[in-house]
Amino acid sequence: MTTALRKSAVFYFTIITGISSCFCTDVNPEENPEIPAIAKYFSTKGRYEEVNPYLIEDILAVNRSILQPPSAQCRQIHLTAVIRHGTRYPTTKNVKKMKKLYDVVQGSNVSNRNWLRELQNQWRMWYTEDMDGRLVQKGVNDHKHLAVRLSKLFPSLISEEKLRGGFIKFITSSKHRCVNSTLSFKAGLTELWHIKDMEFDHVVNDALMRFFDKCTRFLEEVDNNPSAVTEVEKFKQGPEMRRVQQKIADILNIPYSAITDDMAEAAFYLCAYEFAIKTVNSPWCRLYDEVDAQVMEYANDLKHFWKRSYGYDINSKSSCILFHDVFSRLEKAAEENMSGQQVAEAVTVQVGHAETLLPLLTLLGFFNDSEPLTSTNFAAQTRRSFRTSHMLPYAANLILVLYDCGGGDLRLQPLLNEKPVTFPGLADQASMPLYQDVLQHYRDLLQGCDFETECQLFKQPAEV
């Protein structure tokens, strides 16, 4: 992307003020009438604040004590962050579904309920197809605020000196919502440090950030193959989803046949978008109770499980190119540090999609439950770890921080959404294992996991 194009895409930002270092943990969103009671079930349409509720009180709050290096002499030498874009408008596909539902509600007889009268008489369908997933102002703020928080968590790496010196690199997907999220992240830093005399480039790299579009085997066997999501379709036709649809039809006083599974999803999304974009607890949310929301969340989790995660081996293997890129940056930083050189790339910020993050998390082994998600085990999966509402809100992020603790003792700390997590298979080393142990744990992937080989078209997808 040329400098001129980058400049033309720049938003006009407001200055971030009121930076605070307190860490508030006593926030209970369920007691806030402005927050839908079902907000924690919005899957990939959820706010980042529902994952970290303390941010509701102070959007710039951090708690550096969560890092807990094994000794005081440990110093951070490199950070890689893979980040999902910020809050966005619905895509054209979802706007069409929402418009169909809106038309049904407009034609229904719901005059006996005040909040439904509000939907009919006051709420207007303001989403348009040309919005098509574009970043909203909340999404701008998501990344500006995240940039400031990360600079407070990792001040020796994300610093004005490192930014001005060219030690912080930015990579993004070509999608407008990702490019504008990257611009927002950079603006968060430049406004924090009042930098007005320099501009900072970013690189568009879809091979890394949209690898799923380049993997022929994934496209043929999963993404464009209806039979790959059989479990999802079975659940949509099953008793749990049918109950949700019938309940909505009863409320709207219309025939059961008038509410399809797409419309039930559209109403759920309307509740989620109104809240994420406008911070409004919309009347649409009152179509669902908590159990309904859990059903809708499970339907979304099923789709992501089978299309982007553990359902098929190629889902995670499609991210081999990003996996190797991340570890090659870590290895380069480790080698430069061990040889006494200054680490040339202190920070790498890579902005992509939920579909970028989830396959990588899967390849690394995170959130792998003992039983797969299926159309028939909704009740048995209430305590599952695979919850996209927790994993993939807007601005979700996987951060890997490399530490030098002296005497050749390198450590690697993973964080998901600013919270330490443990590498699967390395639980005995808590959240900051030896870097060499991490390399050993993933040795088969590091020695193999070739994108070109994995993405060649085979006859049958391999189920996990």
Q: How far apart, in whole angstroms, are the C-alpha atoms of residue 317 and residue 359?
A: 8
Q: What are phi and psi of 163, to 5 degrees?
A: -65, -50
Whole-angstrom CA distances from 240 to 235, 374, 381 are 8, 13, 13
User: Is residue 411 within 8 Å of 74, Cβ to Cβ?
Assistant: yes
324 has catalytic annotation: no
Helix (H, G, I), strand (E, B) or coil at 175: coil
List Cβ neighbours of 225 (8 Å cut-off, separation of 6 or more): 461
Whole-angstrom CA distances from 411 to 109, 353, 441 are 63, 28, 14
Output the DSSP codes for 290-329.
HHHHHHHHHHHHHHHHHHHSTTBHHHHHTTHHHHHHHHHH
Count Cβ atoms below 10 Å from residue 2 Cβ, excluding itself.
7
Helix (H, G, I), strand (E, B) or coil at 11: coil
Which burial class, exposed, middle or buried, applies to 407 when counting CB atoms under 10 A from its CB (0-12, 13-18, 19+)?
A: exposed
Count Cβ atoms below 10 Å from residue 302 Cβ, excluding itself.
25
Helix (H, G, I), strand (E, B) or coil at 291: helix
User: Is residue 400 within 8 Å of 79, Cβ to Cβ?
Assistant: yes
**Catalytic residue (one of 85, 143, 145, 353):** 85
Q: How far apart, in whole angstroms, are the C-alpha atoms of residue 246 and residue 261?
A: 10
Pairing, β 410-416 against β 397-404: antiparallel
Q: What are phi and psi of 463, to 5 degrees?
A: -75, 145
Q: Could you list the active site residues?
A: 85
